[in-house]
Amino acid sequence: MFESAEYRLYGALAHAAVWDHATPDQRPRHFDSVLDPTLGAAGGALVGAEIARIEGRVLDAQELYDEAIRAAHKYGFVHNQAIASEIAGRFYAERGYEKIAATYLRNARACYLRWGADGKVRQLDDLYPHLRMDNSIPDSTATIVTPVEQLDLATVIRVSEAVSGEIVFEKLITTLMSSAIEHVGAEHANDALLYQIEEQGAPKRLSR
């Protein structure tokens, strides 16, 4: 049953792709082969997106591509998520939306990689070399980085200098906090820090 559904899905997608290059006389036959109401959530949305694309219903196609990707992710079909993302990427690229296309294609590459489809990864790298070179956007398996991990280089350098150059404990804390405050823009915390140091009395030196 599963194999039959997959066969119908890939068959419909193949006919949709061939439709773009078919002659006017051949197109109706390929379009009829795309129509299949028995494909399930992810497959049905993806084929529906291709039908909308062929019929020129751009907004419907956009919504259905995203629906197909979400459904594939929800049910754990990483291969369908990869295919839907790749087809959506081509859809946007053909319309000149290069940045949007790159986002979908980058997601497709990450999903193919997770699926173990190394041949598809190599194919995308050959067709879109910038996907392999640009690692600035994490893939769908990445976790959200914390603000601490996003500290800029200048802040890191100042903190390092403070750690290596300060001996008095309270002064060290003050310097470190000042750097952190400057980074996050929480200048009001500085007064509270100074008040806390004054309340603790004279500074103590760190033991060597």
**Structure tokens given for 171:** 């002064």
CATH classification code of 2-133:
1.25.40.10
Q: For residue 110, how many other CB atoms are within 10 A of its CB? A: 22
Domain boundaries, the chain: 2-133, 147-200
CB-based contacts of 11, cutoff 8 Å, min separation 6: 33
**For residue range 87-128, what is the model confidence (pLDDT) as tens digits?**
999 999 999 999 999 999 999 999 999 999 999 999 999 999
How many contiguous H segments (helices) and E segments (strands) does the chain have? 11, 0
**For residue range 165-176, what is the model confidence (pLDDT) as tens digits?**
444 545 555 555
**For residue range 46-89, what is the model confidence (pLDDT) as tens digits?**
999 999 999 999 999 999 999 999 999 999 999 999 999 999 99
Torsion of CA 134, 136, 139, 143, to 10 degrees: 160
The pLDDT assigned to 132 comes to 74
Nearest to 13 by CA among 83, 71, 109: 83
